[in-house]
Structure 1
Amino acid sequence: MKKIHLLLLKSFIRPFIVTLLIVMFVLLMLFLFKYIDDLIGKGFQWYIILELMMYNSATNVAMALPLSVLLSSIMTYGSLGENYELVAIKSAGISLRRAMYPMMVVVLVLSAAAFFFSDYMLPVANLKYYSLLYDARKQKSADLLPENIFSNRFPGYSIRVKRKDPDGQTLHEIMIYQTGKLETNQTVTFAKSGLMYRSKDDLYLILKLRDGVRYEEDAGSSGNSLPRQRLTRFRFKETEQKLDLSVFKIQRTDENEFRNASMMMNLRQLQHYVDSAHHEVDSNVKVNYNLVKAYMKYTTVPLTSSVIKKPIPADSIKMTGISDKVNTLNNASSEVHQIMDVLRNRADRHKETSKSIRRYIMEYQKKFTLGAACIVLFLIGAPLGAIIRKGGLGLPVVVSVIFFLIYYIIGTIGEKSAKEGDLSPLIGAWISIGVLFPIGLFLTYKAATDSALFDVDLYKRFFKRFSLRKSKPI
């Protein structure tokens, strides 16, 4: 490997790693801002939050990797152009295409790695992430006893605390309703104050109550079926009430319930699902007539019928009265409505199946578009950096964000249109690549021919000549 290739590789790899980490951090912050209300205040262990952030970072690679390739390529070639290193490379007889060769190899390796990541690792990360996020969002709040609210978060109890001290553990004017076997509030406890803390094994919430009274209602010992025959009241200076905390532990849902989603599948599973869905659609089309035929009592007799030699003409059927006509029309209308209901249900099922097929085909194609996006955005970023000749995080960031927004918006529109059936899933998945690839080739050609595409003085001189021509008298 030549020294010039090592120089270019070092100039590319460093900003690529830095920009990838920055973009991943920004996307992770967006995730935290979006779900902060669902995660804070629920008493999660620190490793649950860390695990969720790790899985989210893995799912963000599909967006962060193309943007990092675009930004780092613009920064690399912009910095080389700004420091006149590209001029020195060209003066040594090395064309821009040869200067792009080592980094193109790196980008091809990244594209292959992106494909294998999206096929093998991304489905697993999506499965872990969305299942854990689902369980975290449905988790109950860790604020077990809010002020001035009857809390029903503990099964069988309804508890109200009028006021809490700033330490969050000292309670005042406590009221506890406890449901008995008869599903009625058979035990009521009042206390002037109390202390709330967790047990050492974190399995129970202990309420140490002071200066209170407890009322208990019983069916009595006489064998009477009436629910309230005996009332017991006793006062206490101090007592304890244990509340089970197991309902506040995060309950993990079986991950197999999420495996049928398209984002949780690899190429082989997606292809198997699409083939099965197409087979189901074809079989449904074949049985539709048989299902509708049962509701059709009046059918056309074939000309070669072996049972009926001569069909009876429709105009030969005579109806004697108004009631016969009304009954005939009612029967016909009822049969038409029955057939319409059957067809509507079949049509809705066919529509949902077709939409699901398009969604899975889109996910199948996205396994390949991630690597292709890295190549196309590199073809845009490298020549663009050589043309604008600006390094650092200033102008390259602005230009890269603009092109990435174009890529992302076109891709999102194509994906939504394909899922709704307005576009073919193949076109919807590749439309953003198809739009940006000619732009990348055009910029590569302009950079290779030393075109002053972004030279402001060139455009000033052009408009100046144009205005002078307009101002000349005829």
Structure 2
Amino acid sequence: MKKLDKLILKSFFGPFFLTFLVVVFILLVQYMLKYFDDFVGKDLGFSVFAELIFYFSINMSQVALPLAILLSSLMTFGNLGEHFELTAIKSAGISLVRTLRPLFIAVLFLVVLAFMNNNFIVPEANINAYSLLYDIRQKKPSLDIREGQFYNGIPNYSIKVNQKFPDGVSMKDVIIYDHTREMGNNSVTVADSCRMYTILNDRYLVFELYDGNSYQESRQNEFNRTASFGGVNDLARNEFSQMKMVLSLASFDLNRTKQELFAGNRLMKDMGELAHDIDSMQGVVSEVRLNLLNNADGMYDYHLKERRQRKIDSIRAATSKEREAVAVSQGEVKITVEDSILSPNTGNTPAAPRITRESAVEALAKTQAKTNEQAKADSIRAAKELVLQRKKAARDTITFEKYFADNSRRTRAVNDALVKARYIKTNLANQATRIENLNSEIYRHIIEKHKKVALAFSCLVMFFIGAPLGSIIKKGGFGLPVILSIGFFIIFYVVSIMSEKYAREGLLDGAVAAWMPNMVLLPFGAFFLRQARNDSRLFDADVYLMFMDRLKKKWADFVQKKRQGSPTEKALSDQSEGE
């Protein structure tokens, strides 16, 4: 490796790691803010937050890596151009393409690394992250007993405190309802004051009550209730000067759900699993459609069903006639007739007279004539059957009209038809909705499958944009490069969102939607690379000012020629010459 390659790689990887961490942090904060309300007041601890941030950082890396490559490559070549190092390299006879070669090879390694990350590491991180996020959202908020309000956060207990002291431990006028027996408000404890604290690593909550009473009402069975005076339940009252109640806080623990329950989501699968699921769902769609067609006979009871059956019979008859025509065209009938006429004597039958070729042809003609007569007879019989069917249909129509002359019968028939039509409509709507949902899920799986490769390839696209653009603008640091990088990233993000939306609706192929941002930005990279090779001053203000001056001059010359060519100008010029 030459010193130039080492210089460029050293200039690239420093900003790359810094920008990668910054971009991951920004994307992570933006993503975690959506779930901020689910974290507040649950006393999760640093370890839970650290685990969640780590997993979601891996998830954000697949988007942060292309943006970090764009920004770092732009800063690298912007710094080289700003310090005239790129000019010195070109003056030494080294082309821009040769200068880009070490970074190009490094970015290729990053593309492979990005694909491995997207396909293998990110699905595992997703299943850990989203399972932990689900458990956090299901976790109860931490203990928060407020003055004058009943607190029901502890299962089977309802607690009310009228006054809390600033130390957070002492309380006054406490009422505790015990519902552990599931018998209503039959067990009540009232105390003048209490102290509240936790023990055994916050596993249990202790109420140390002072100067109070405990009331216990017990239910009686039917016999005792009838025998007792007035039919009332027994009531027991215990007075105490000090008493402790220990309540379990196990319901406030973070209970972890099995990760296998989340493995069915497309975000938790690699390309092989996604392809398998796509094939499976396409098979389910085909099966639903086939079952719908097979069960379609129950939707037609009258003319449509008969017409469908006649169509099937006609297709079968046409198929059999086609087979006979093919057999005749291939000589099968002719060979059979000739064999029957010219068959040799086997000894079991009397010897047939010698048949000449003329007699064989005559016999074949007679057989053909019989076949034609049979076909004609069949057609006449079919016509007669058709006439009989039409007469029968006319009689059935008359009978139908006579039968439904009664309004009650007609109303009943119409209601039955409406009920069946509504049932058929509902069935078809349900099947259509199921097929639509399956197709939507198939589109999402296809997008996710191709995004794993497309996001990795976008690292290369961003390099082709950032490196030539940095050599053109000749500005390093976090000023103009950051603005340009954000602009291209916004284009990348907007195109990605729009194309995925169209693909989920079935208006665009999933593979095209995943690759659409790369297809949109790749021409920018080719254009910037061409301009950088030609040492174009694309972002110099003087170039555009000179262009505007030339444009203004051409416009003034054009207006001058127009004025000289007009009749009024010519007359004025002739008049001035005559004077």
Give the structure-2-normalised TM-score: 0.78
SS of 2:515's equivalent?
A: helix
C-alpha contact (below 8 Å) 1:135/1:251 kept by paired residues: yes
State which drifts further: 439-448 or 332-341.
332-341
Is residue 2:528 matched to residue 1:443? yes
* Structure 2 equivalent of residue 376 of structure 1: 461
* Structure 2 equivalent of residue 461 of structure 1: 546
* Structure 2 equivalent of residue 341 of structure 1: 426
Distance 1:11 1:32, change over 3 A: same
Distance 1:220 1:343, change over 3 A: closer
Distance 1:152 1:228, change over 3 A: farther
Q: CA deviation at 1:45?
A: 3.0
Aligned counterparts, 1:51-62, within 5 A: 51-62=51-62
Is residue 2:252 matched to residue 1:248? yes
Q: CA deviation at 1:190?
A: 1.6
* Structure 2 equivalent of residue 35 of structure 1: 35
Q: CA deviation at 1:223?
A: 6.9
Distance 1:300 1:353, change over 3 A: same
Q: 1:389 aligns with which of 467, 474, 489?
A: 474
Q: CA deviation at 1:221?
A: 10
* Structure 2 equivalent of residue 238 of structure 1: 242
Q: CA deviation at 1:330?
A: 2.5
State which drifts further: 51-60 or 213-222.
213-222
C-alpha contact (below 8 Å) 1:295/1:338 kept by paired residues: no
SS of 1:60's equivalent?
A: helix
Q: 1:278 aligns with which of 276, 282, 285?
A: 282
Q: CA deviation at 1:166?
A: 2.7
Structure 2, gaps ≥5 residues long = 318-384, 561-579
Q: CA deviation at 1:339?
A: 1.3
Q: CA deviation at 1:377?
A: 0.7
Q: 2:439 aligns with which of 345, 349, 354?
A: 354
State which drifts further: 106-115 or 414-423.
414-423
* Structure 1 equivalent of residue 412 of structure 2: 327
* Structure 2 equivalent of residue 11 of structure 1: 11
Give the whole-Å Cα distance in 2 for the aligned partners of 1:292 and 1:177.
62
Q: Deviations over 1:236-287 (max 9, x none)?
A: 2221111111111011122122111110111111010000111111121111
Is residue 2:385 matched to residue 1:300? no
* Identity across the alignment (%): 38
Structure 2 letter corresponding to 1:448: R
Structure 1 letter corresponding to 2:8: L
SS of 2:207's equivalent?
A: strand
Q: Deviations over 1:124-162 (max 9, x none)?
A: 111111111011012111034233221111111111122
Structure 2 letter corresponding to 1:262: R
Distance 1:268 1:228, change over 3 A: farther
C-alpha contact (below 8 Å) 1:218/1:228 kept by paired residues: no
Distance 1:180 1:60, change over 3 A: closer
C-alpha contact (below 8 Å) 1:217/1:228 kept by paired residues: no
Distance 1:99 1:251, change over 3 A: same
Structure 2 letter corresponding to 1:6: K
State which drifts further: 173-182 or 345-354.
173-182
* Structure 1 equivalent of residue 339 of structure 2: none
C-alpha contact (below 8 Å) 2:225/2:233 kept by paired residues: no
Give the whole-Å Cα distance in 1 for the aligned partners of 2:220 and 2:506.
70
SS of 2:141's equivalent?
A: coil
SS of 2:151's equivalent?
A: coil
SS of 2:190's equivalent?
A: strand
Task: Determine which structure has more spread, i.e. the larger CA radius of gyration.
Answer: 2
Give the whole-Å Cα distance in 1 for the aligned partners of 2:180 and 2:447.
55
State which drifts further: 328-337 or 117-126.
328-337
Q: CA deviation at 1:81?
A: 0.3
Is residue 2:73 matched to residue 1:76? no
Give the whole-Å Cα distance in 1 for the aligned partners of 2:185 and 2:24.
53
Q: Deviations over 1:385-419 (max 9, x none)?
A: 00000000111101100011100111111111111
SS of 1:117's equivalent?
A: helix
* Structure 1 equivalent of residue 372 of structure 2: none
* Structure 2 equivalent of residue 119 of structure 1: 119
Distance 1:273 1:182, change over 3 A: closer
Q: Deviations over 1:42-101 (max 9, x none)?
A: 122321111111111111111211110110011000000000011011111111111011
Q: Which has the higher helix share?
A: 2
C-alpha contact (below 8 Å) 1:70/1:378 kept by paired residues: yes
Distance 1:222 1:237, change over 3 A: farther
Q: CA deviation at 1:372?
A: 1.0
C-alpha contact (below 8 Å) 2:62/2:117 kept by paired residues: no
* Structure 2 equivalent of residue 64 of structure 1: 64
State which drifts further: 21-30 or 58-67.
21-30
Equivalent pairs counted in the alignment come to 473
C-alpha contact (below 8 Å) 1:194/1:209 kept by paired residues: yes
Structure 2 letter corresponding to 1:148: G
* Structure 2 equivalent of residue 88 of structure 1: 88
Q: CA deviation at 1:422?
A: 1.9
Distance 1:228 1:45, change over 3 A: farther
SS of 1:297's equivalent?
A: coil
* Structure 1 equivalent of residue 363 of structure 2: none
* Structure 2 equivalent of residue 434 of structure 1: 519
Is residue 2:489 matched to residue 1:404? yes
C-alpha contact (below 8 Å) 1:292/1:339 kept by paired residues: no
Indicate the RMSD between aligned Cα atoms, in angstroms.
2.1
Q: CA deviation at 1:349?
A: 0.4
Q: Deviations over 1:322-370 (max 9, x none)?
A: 4233333323222221211111111000000000000000000111011
Q: Deviations over 1:95-138 (max 9, x none)?
A: 11110111011111111111111111111111111111011012
Structure 2 letter corresponding to 1:134: Y
Q: CA deviation at 1:318?
A: 2.9
C-alpha contact (below 8 Å) 2:143/2:153 kept by paired residues: no
* Structure 1 equivalent of residue 378 of structure 2: none
Distance 1:182 1:6, change over 3 A: closer
Give the whole-Å Cα distance in 2 for the aligned partners of 1:175 and 1:426.
64
Structure 1 letter corresponding to 2:94: I
Give the whole-Å Cα distance in 2 for the aligned partners of 1:228 and 1:438.
88
Give the whole-Å Cα distance in 2 for the aligned partners of 1:130 and 1:180.
34
* Structure 1 equivalent of residue 291 of structure 2: 287
Give the whole-Å Cα distance in 2 for the aligned partners of 1:292 and 1:161.
67
Give the whole-Å Cα distance in 1 for the aligned partners of 2:476 and 2:453.
31
Give the whole-Å Cα distance in 1 for the aligned partners of 2:232 and 2:159.
22
C-alpha contact (below 8 Å) 2:172/2:193 kept by paired residues: yes
